[in-house]
Amino acid sequence: MPIPDITRRLSRQVISQDIDSLHGLQTITTYDTTRTDASATKLQQAYQAMLISQQVETEKLTLYRAAADAARLAEWEFHNAVLAMKEVVRGQYGTDSDQAQAVGLKKKSDRKRPTRKKSVAIAS
């Protein structure tokens, strides 16, 4: 039997089947085993640990999503403030100033004028 890859998550279907199996085991009153990893108490402890871990994961995922939303909004606020600052610099110092170039704008005089492309005559 190949070694299972425990780095990947189990599907919801597999976990649901395992929970159904545990509930089915609880109906068997004569279940007894010498294997400690398959005992009814060990199964119940593992089930409770899974539920607690899933709850903690959900709580942390919610906090992560809230933090990601806050960071995204802060990034947009910063970006909009920088755009406003560039407009002010352009309006105050002009589009061809060193100050405009200092904040990342391209000087008007540094822009290339469009050139006409010579059309190539088709030789017959």
Spatial separation of the C-alpha atoms in residues 25 and 47, rounded to whole Å: 13
Which residue is associated with the tokens 């190949």? 2
pTM over 0.75: no
Residue type, 60: K
* Each residue's pLDDT expressed in tens, for the chain with a length of 124 residues: 788 888 999 999 999 999 999 999 999 989 999 999 999 999 999 999 999 999 999 999 999 999 999 999 999 999 999 999 999 999 999 988 999 989 988 887 887 777 888 777 666 5
